[in-house]
A = this chain, B = another copy of it.
Amino acid sequence: MPNARISLPKAKLSAVLGHLAKIPASLSMTTIQTSPDGLWLYQSGHGLDVQLCFPEARTESRVTTSVNTAALAQMVSVAPGEAVEVEVGPSGLKFGTGGYRASLNGLIVDYDEPPIEAEGGVVVPIAELGRAIRCVRHAVGGVNRPHFRGVQLEFSPGNLRAVASDGYRLARYDLGVDGPLNGKAMLPLKPLDAALGILSTQDGAATLQLHGGRLAVIGEAVRLALTPMGQGLPNVENAIPKSYVAEAIVDPRALIQAIRRVSLLSPQDNRRIDLSFSEQRLEVRGAGDYGEGRDEVPLDTYRGEPLALSLNAVYLYDALSCIEGMARIKISDPRSPIAVEALEDARYLGVIAPILNP
């Protein structure tokens, strides 16, 4: 079998390899296979299998080798020019343009990757799927135990909901979808982040399907399989208040600025800030060992009696961060969770439990 010569776009290949290198695995190897469809990259790790095609690099022959992912990523990043010229042989890769020549040793592998399949399922634009997950991801909470925390995808007729919660706050995002899929998958954070990175290099739409206990994501040139955690979220909908007594419309960017200024002086343990809502403005205060600060933000509209409550500054900051346009803050009472919504995007909801004053 002769070696196969191909040319790949350097920027896209670098981005893909950077994400592949982040897939948790004991030994990170990427299998490379030339084919008449294009160049396939195969990678398996804890909780995530990836199959990705560069259709621009078609070859007659089918040659397979397996190389260290990080070494390949580094060699591509320093290769000269905007296209990477590669010769794929069974025992590794050869690079080179001009006076530069390099070879990367590969393992001889002899196999065909079992295809990741999805019959039926629902179709979602890749960019929207990424946005839905990124908008709720913050509510997973601290990054101490990323293998035990995750984002849950819930499929029901006409809807794909992404939900995350750490018990103190909740975020959810509803994507309308066509398709008959039912079920849910709680996806652990590390493989999910790697999957989002890989999807961000791809255009178009993907089909999502629950298949053999895994979530398959199948796009035009990418196929992912994610293994959910055994246990999903408890029923978090009960934490969302059913009625509200006050509602404020505020520019989330102005409020984020005020939170940044004032929360510097908040206690390190609960990052408490005190919010006072009144007719025209929202006052934000923080106080701790180093001193105290206050700032104020104009309210576009406020409906309700003047109200005061205390929140963790980080939770409010996170909940506001993915809102474009204006934000709506809804208050039930100062001892119940508040709701944070995007005025122009009903698909997003953030819910934050207040800090109760002693």
Contact = CB atoms under 8 A, between A and B. Distances in A.
A71 B289 CA distance: 11
A78 B291 contact: no
A103 B292 contact: yes
A291 to B, nearest CB: 4
A68 to B, nearest CB: 6
Interface in A92-149: 92, 95, 99-105
Interface stretch (A167-175, A260-268, A330-338): A260-268
B100 A290 contact: no
A200 interface: no
Contacts of A291: 71, 92, 102-105
Contacts of A290: 68, 71, 104-105
A78 B261 contact: yes
Contacts of A293: 75, 95, 100-103
A79 B261 contact: yes
A279 interface: no
Contacts of A102: 261-262, 264-265, 291-294
A102 B262 CA distance: 8
Interface string A305-325: 000000000000000000000
Contact of A261 (B100, B257, B261, B265): B100
Contact of A260 (B78, B105, B261): B78
A77 B214 CA distance: 46
Contacts of A261: 75, 78-80, 100, 102
A251 interface: no
A332 B258 CA distance: 64
Which of A71, A79, A261, A264 has the largest count of B CB atoms less than 10 A from its CB?
A261
A32 B204 CA distance: 58
A200 B246 CA distance: 52
Interface in A225-270: 257-258, 260-262, 264-265
Nearest to A265: B102
A7 interface: no
Contacts of A281: 99
Contacts of A103: 291-293
Which of A101, A105, A257, A291 has the largest count of B CB atoms less than 10 A from its CB?
A291
A254 B41 CA distance: 32
A37 interface: no
Contacts of A71: 264-265, 290-291
A87 interface: no
Contacts of A101: 293-295
Nearest to A106: B291
A74 B257 CA distance: 13
Task: Please name the 8 residue pairs, one residue from A and one from B, whose CB atoms are nearest each other, closest first.
Answer: A102-B293, A99-B296, A104-B291, A103-B291, A100-B295, A71-B290, A78-B261, A105-B291
13 contacts: A71-B265, A71-B290, A74-B264, A78-B257, A78-B264, A99-B297, A100-B294, A102-B261, A102-B262, A102-B291, A102-B292, A103-B291, A103-B293
Given A99-B297, A105-B290, A105-B291, 6 more contacts: A99-B281, A100-B295, A101-B294, A102-B293, A102-B294, A103-B293
